[in-house]
Structure 1
Amino acid sequence: MKVLVFGAGQLAQMMYLAAAPLGVEVYAVDVVAREVINPVDKSKFDMSIEYAVSDVHVITAEFEHVPEDLLDMAEKSGKLHPNMAAILTGADRVREKYVLDTNNIQNCPHLIVSDVSDLDAAVQALGEKIIFKASRDGYDGYGQWRLINSEELPKLKHAFASLDLKRVPLVAEKMLSFDREISIIGARDAKGNVCCFDIAENLHHEGQLHVSVAPATAVSAAVQKQAEQIFETLANALNYIGVLAVELFQSGDELLVNEIAPRVHNSGHWTQKGADTCQFEQHIRAVLGFPLGDTASKGVTAMINIIGCTSFSRDLISIPGCHLHWYGKEVREKRKMGHINVVADSYRELGEKLLLLLQYLPEEYFVLLRGEAQRLIAIEA
């Protein structure tokens, strides 16, 4: 069987590696060059996108910002999973907010800003502390602006005046205090079966995910159930097929959806070594109609992103339960170059392994790792 992935980055690469043992071939589309390539070695195939669409069994995507003409071609083939509407929802915060609100799913209080003149009303409705997010093309902290007090509003008005807010509106969200950021990742198949992984706890620095720990610490049964209900409501509302990620803010036992990602997700990379079936295999299973796999966690796992850095020792894989996943990219500031998964039997053991891991890493690139290691050790002290 054959799967075509729109996008040719590390997520397509990891789908390829997870699909191969199932006897599934994965092709990728470089959507900029408009070429069909091997997602691992990046070699070009002598075939057009149109031919690939006709030849494969299923078409999917590794990111939301696929040109709409390609999505439309795939949708018309009847092979696109998840569907075009779901992918576009993940690509556009205005669409996303509409889906959340119409399905009564709690999220941050917000207003849509399509003109600079809307800013005063947004401050009046939401208060002085607001985060403004571009409705499209924003990720890893890009396309975001913060208002801390009303004195900064004239400066923001000046900045927004140069933007085409009619074409790309802003979502103004009230800044809320919350205990932590978590995510739930799961899959839904064509029959409506849903299967979720354990909640992951996510630590961000400068708008980028640096560390995920799963299962998240101190998750009550009520919070796990609430997260799964949110996931299932969204997946059913979108008539979703494949793996879906839902990022959440937790405050006490209350969960608010931050955003969704209609694809395999960075905060699910821990599943490669920390779950019975990883998110990449699960996505292939779901879109091809194979039985969904067991999502049970195996011990506790930390995923550590390698960001803008190549100067580390690969001897880190000498640590038991430590696995390196390298993407083969050219180094660039704030670019995700790879990740490390560390699996242990307990949070304390995981924390101890993370401290050991720091012996092989330049700590200035892994600024949250020591503190997280110490927190995990203290849990079971």
Structure 2
Amino acid sequence: MTDSTDNGPVTDAVMLLGSSELSRELALAFQRLGTEVIAVDRYADAPAHGVADRSAVVKMNDAEALTALIETERPRYVVAEAGLIATDALIAVAERGAVEVFPTPRSTRLSLDREGLRRLASDELGLPTAPFWFAGSTEELAAVAQHAGFPLVVKPIASAPGEGESVLVRPEDVEPAWHRAVAAGRIPHNRVMAESVVDVDVEVTLLTVRTVGPTGPAVHFCEPIGHRLRDGDVLETWQPQALSPTALDSAKSIGARIVNSLGGRGVFGVELLVRGDEVYFDNVRPRPHDSGLVTLRSQRLSEFELHARAILGLPVDTIMISPAAAEVTYAGAEMKISAGVDRQGVLAEALEVAESDLRLFDRPDETEARRRLAVALATAPDPIVARDRARRVTASLQGLW
């Protein structure tokens, strides 16, 4: 089906801006629903290029080049899967009305602006957060530390989870933390965020799905996902993470308020800090992310299938079919499977673990300096056993590198 516009026909295709390993999973989810996929990235042979119906290489932070590509392809949907995208181009496309843009350009911009997002959450929406400050120089950061006291977490304005973060425990830590945060940011920023350390029981991702139907917007929640970064290079996640009824209600309230403020349709990963019945907003990612990879085995519909359905305006459900766990292994961009390794033997050992599964990410992925090597997955009658199984799969996979 096509619609006629002044600029030519609009096809039913989806254009993915960003072709990482996660975009590859999303491309497959769209294709299984009969939707043509155009995968775009700044380099050739990106992971999603290998499965898309068509692919393109363009600098996505070049507004003119990106606009020209969208006008040439005329997709019905443009889905931003990478952070560094020319939001001015997305705004212009969205305002013309013929093409729908997801997440909303505002969400895309705020996902790269920790200051703007935190001020939206705390100042405008009144969501509970850890005490925070922003600094534009080492002197300002030193003044914040003197006022707030130690320990203090310093983060870049825009970065991947954990990237460029430092914990200040004494005044001498200020200058190194400043330089680390500024150097690690995904886009140039001479500002950092400082946050009081909150003693929490668990860090939680609440996958929140926003849809729009005949009766208006609706919000759906997956079971909470617990997560932690282990040894700096393994992200461990599990679902469900048990919360008290009070904490779960608070988590859902925070999730609904932030995603309804951002608008649009799709999956939002709402990051929360939980201590007993207290829940603090930490971040929100307006797209599928690593902490949701556990849903590949835990839910009837994975985070990618939920994202695709919501964007296409199709019904969704967030049914969990089994407790599960996942471990994502990371390394530098240069890390690859070792030559001469007995890959089949390693995989056989890993998959000997009961109810296990895995994904190897062996295609070039220039999306981030620290790339994904693999994800280990396991199900079990409870998340504790699932976590143990996923760890055993990860341990076996270490023989590949």
> Is structure 2 residue 229 aligned with structure 1 residue 199?
no
Q: Partner residue of 2:113?
A: 92
Q: Secondary structure at the match of 1:91?
A: coil
Q: Partner residue of 1:322?
A: 356
Q: Secondary structure at the match of 1:108?
A: coil
2:261 and 2:358 mapped to 1: Cα distance?
A: 37
1:359 and 1:170 mapped to 2: Cα distance?
A: 36
1:265 and 1:343 mapped to 2: Cα distance?
A: 20
Counterpart residue type for residue 97 of structure 1 = R
Counterpart residue type for residue 81 of structure 2 = E
Question: In 2 relative to 1, CA 200–155 (structure 1 residues): closer, same or farther, beyond 3 Å?
Answer: closer
Match 1:256 to one of 271, 277, 280: 280
1:37 and 1:123 mapped to 2: Cα distance?
A: 43
> Is structure 2 residue 359 aligned with structure 1 residue 335?
no
Contact 1:180 1:251 in 2 (8 A): yes
Judge which range, 138-147 or 36-45, deviates more.
36-45
Q: Partner residue of 2:3?
A: none
Counterpart residue type for residue 169 of structure 1 = R
Match 1:226 to one of 233, 247, 250: 250
1:166 and 1:337 mapped to 2: Cα distance?
A: 27
Superposed displacement of residue 184, structure 1: 0.5
Superposed displacement of residue 168, structure 1: 3.6
Question: In 2 relative to 1, CA 167–359 (structure 1 residues): closer, same or farther, beyond 3 Å?
Answer: closer
Superposed displacement of residue 183, structure 1: 0.9
Superposed displacement of residue 177, structure 1: 1.8
Question: In 2 relative to 1, CA 286–152 (structure 1 residues): closer, same or farther, beyond 3 Å?
Answer: same
Counterpart residue type for residue 148 of structure 2 = L
Superposed displacement of residue 355, structure 1: 6.2
Q: Partner residue of 1:378?
A: none
Superposed displacement of residue 144, structure 1: 2.3
Q: Partner residue of 2:26?
A: 15
Contact 2:164 2:181 in 1 (8 A): no
Superposed displacement of residue 214, structure 1: 0.2
Contact 1:301 1:350 in 2 (8 A): yes
Q: Partner residue of 1:362?
A: 398
Q: Partner residue of 1:377?
A: none
Q: Partner residue of 1:344?
A: 380
Superposed displacement of residue 169, structure 1: 1.4
Match 2:327 to one of 277, 289, 304: 304
Q: Partner residue of 1:170?
A: 192
Contact 2:152 2:196 in 1 (8 A): yes
Counterpart residue type for residue 98 of structure 1 = R
For residues 178-197 of structure 1, give each alpha carbon's deviation from its aligned partner in whole angstroms, at most 9, with x where no partner exists: 12211111210233111111
2:35 and 2:113 mapped to 1: Cα distance?
A: 31
> Is structure 2 residue 73 aligned with structure 1 residue 62?
no
Superposition TM-score, scaled by structure 2 size: 0.79
Q: Secondary structure at the match of 1:246?
A: strand
Counterpart residue type for residue 90 of structure 1 = S
2:163 and 2:361 mapped to 1: Cα distance?
A: 22
2:227 and 2:173 mapped to 1: Cα distance?
A: 30
Question: In 2 relative to 1, CA 36–14 (structure 1 residues): closer, same or farther, beyond 3 Å?
Answer: closer
Q: Secondary structure at the match of 1:250?
A: strand
Judge which range, 317-326 or 277-286, deviates more.
317-326
Counterpart residue type for residue 148 of structure 1 = V
Contact 2:36 2:53 in 1 (8 A): no
Query: Unaligned regions of 5+ residues in structure 1, if any?
Result: 366-381
Superposed displacement of residue 8, structure 1: 0.9
Superposed displacement of residue 209, structure 1: 5.2
Question: In 2 relative to 1, CA 143–238 (structure 1 residues): closer, same or farther, beyond 3 Å?
Answer: same
> Is structure 2 residue 246 aligned with structure 1 residue 213?
no
Q: Secondary structure at the match of 1:362?
A: helix
Contact 1:329 1:337 in 2 (8 A): no
Question: In 2 relative to 1, CA 68–181 (structure 1 residues): closer, same or farther, beyond 3 Å?
Answer: same
Contact 1:37 1:43 in 2 (8 A): no
Q: Partner residue of 2:160?
A: 139
1:77 and 1:34 mapped to 2: Cα distance?
A: 30
Q: Secondary structure at the match of 2:163?
A: coil
Match 1:184 to one of 206, 215, 229: 206
Q: Partner residue of 1:39?
A: 49
Question: In 2 relative to 1, CA 103–323 (structure 1 residues): closer, same or farther, beyond 3 Å?
Answer: same
Counterpart residue type for residue 372 of structure 2 = K
Counterpart residue type for residue 40 of structure 1 = G
Match 1:241 to one of 241, 250, 265: 265
1:354 and 1:35 mapped to 2: Cα distance?
A: 30
Contact 1:7 1:28 in 2 (8 A): yes
Query: Unaligned regions of 5+ residues in structure 2, if any?
Result: 1-11, 58-64
Aligned runs of 1:264-303 on 2, under 5 Å?
264-291=288-315, 293-303=316-326
Q: Structure 1 vs Structure 2: percent identity of aligned residues?
A: 21
Q: Aligned pair count? A: 361
2:141 and 2:101 mapped to 1: Cα distance?
A: 39
Counterpart residue type for residue 139 of structure 1 = A
Superposition TM-score, scaled by structure 1 size: 0.83
